[in-house]
Structure 1
């Protein structure tokens, strides 16, 4: 099966931590023997107009690669522009959170842009042949009038071979962290108000007022290969976001046995339910500090890897492949064969370039 993956988030030398969850998802599909071509729309370099110039590039990629399915791996304007194109193979769109929930905590310009992106996401969801949300609470954000029969809840998976127990002392030595402090890890993107870093810092300050020696570490812009070291060097992960989809860092922390204190956001309550050493707190510095204090008193490491089996990259790749097959079957049943062949190129079209498995062919817009 050939998949054309389209995204505006992907790791680069300038931003190694951006879109790692998408890179890992593509690698897991390749590991199952699917053939994947990646069309990366680098909005940071090309600007927002890159989406509105997408048509010719998309048609060229489809003509050359002959995908069975086009998978748009984020919502917003990009997804709306893809799903508005005519005569495409079946299109699947994955929504991750902010592309459906918006961002209403910055200035007016940012709010308006975010609101427009949400409207585009909802339009893309109606136009797509398949829709994926990474958490159940995002279903209500898809808007009215959507056929829920074409929607699936499939969170991003994690690499359980990379995120596994390591020696805490060794990890702290690598990072130069002292052994006599309580280390709180906070994951954020630079300048992202949705993450509420001021609330996280206030909670840590409250803990310090109780006489604890605490160090607050911001995980931002770190290559994914280094993230397990940061997780194992820490004593607790703190999450204070206003909204989330299915935060990958929470699943990675659980795989590493790291206790978590979080506000009730995204699918975090579902992920940490019943796990001793993880706590939900109100969006209040004092309550967050009290929950951190519970961890500080006993410094536990979690035993919950069995709960993560269904969230492994391999397990998620199986679910994605099954959904692709289902979308293809629905398309085949809804169209006469003559119409299907006129609509898009078949799987092994003569002029389709070969794309062997276990290799991503990266196509950057404008290059």
Structure 2
């Protein structure tokens, strides 16, 4: 088995699976000793900002203004799929502005962000706030914002996070549930994730993140391989290790590929690490023979939607909404969570050496369609709040 690192330059020699250090996820982090203090300080600092949500609900629902809240810094590729979804809102006439919650554990940083958020709300005057992640990001918005809020839960904000200390993971999920109870609207990217909600399950809308079908398009495999400098003869499997290989179960993927090599010969694994530019990912999708997914937990993995849009076959365990996404897609395989079953699926796909019909299946989750359904939810939330007796 040959493993190729991704991104900048391809190494001349095979790269071991675990030669790169683990990179922390761009998600909420907690100092276990400071959880209680952080929550109390945040709430004490911003309680005076809480106002009647109905005031904002009285805004016109014909010209929406939405403030989007993201975890982390504005630069970089973290949550690029969500940021691109916000861009799509502009085509539907939504006035959109982004706010990045840079500090999620530092108390002084949270105070600064609370003040900064208050200033942005005062100047932008949004009808809605849309938190693009749960945990501290969404919880902060519930206590710091004076406008109705929608929350999108994406995966590890409600699912267990094996790469995090257990207390940090538990605290993050608790904050997600508290935010869900307070929010005016809820989105979960899969049915599995929706079932994990403690409160608001009956009003949660299931919407995947959406894929940019204009960027992720099928191209001839031979051309893509020439662009990437890949051999035309190799059988290449794409694996998304992301920012947390432990969560993606890289160990299971490695075992499956080793078993597949015993069954059907040499396989080259190309490893995505979360920092590869999107246009290069498109070339990789078109140059590879299949995508392998082995995660224990997922919401609605965007990597699968992107593979479908490029007609790249997928071999995956049954996780998140992958089974639903792959319905009717051939060649593609949903396999049991074992090296032998995954190996059989890999060999089945690799022996065919053909593209899939996945692009047809990707159309329902195209960004513009997801954006349209999201806007419909915004209007429903505002209408419901007005009818509920908001004082204008």
Aligned mate of 1:5, from 61, 64, 68: 68
* Alpha-carbon distance in structure 1 between the residues aligned to 2:217 and 2:258: 30
- What secondary structure, in the 3-state scheme, does the structure 2 residue paired with 1:70 have? strand
CA RMSD of aligned residues (A): 1.7
Confirm or deny that 1:230 pairs with 2:293.
Answer: no
- Given that 1:129 and 1:150 are in contact with CA atoms closer than 8 Å, whether structure 2 keeps it comes out as no
1:77-156 map, 5 Å:
77-85=136-144, 88-103=146-161, 105-106=162-163, 110-143=165-198, 146-156=199-209
> How many angstroms does 1:299 deviate by?
1.1
Residue in 1 aligned with 2:79?
19
> How many angstroms does 1:155 deviate by?
1.0
| TM-score using structure 2 length | 0.80
> How many angstroms does 1:258 deviate by?
0.6
Aligned mate of 1:171, from 224, 230, 233: 224
Q: 1:237–1:51: structure 2 CA closer, same or farther, 3 Å change rule?
A: farther
> Unpaired runs of 5+ in structure 1?
339-367
Aligned mate of 1:67, from 126, 131, 135: 126
Confirm or deny that 1:312 pairs with 2:312.
Answer: no
Deviations 1:293-332 (CA, angstroms, capped at 9, x unpaired) = 0011111211232332221111111101111011111111
- Given that 1:157 and 1:313 are in contact with CA atoms closer than 8 Å, whether structure 2 keeps it comes out as yes
* Alpha-carbon distance in structure 1 between the residues aligned to 2:335 and 2:377: 36
Higher relative CO (Cα under 8 Å, sequence separation at least 6) belongs to 1
| TM-score using structure 1 length | 0.85
Aligned mate of 1:32, from 92, 95, 112: 92
- What secondary structure, in the 3-state scheme, does the structure 1 residue paired with 2:157 have? helix
Deviations 1:131-188 (CA, angstroms, capped at 9, x unpaired) = 1101011112111xx2344311111111111111101111111211111111000012
Q: 1:42–1:316: structure 2 CA closer, same or farther, 3 Å change rule?
A: same
- Given that 2:282 and 2:310 are in contact with CA atoms closer than 8 Å, whether structure 1 keeps it comes out as yes
> Unpaired runs of 5+ in structure 2?
1-63
Residue in 2 aligned with 1:301?
355
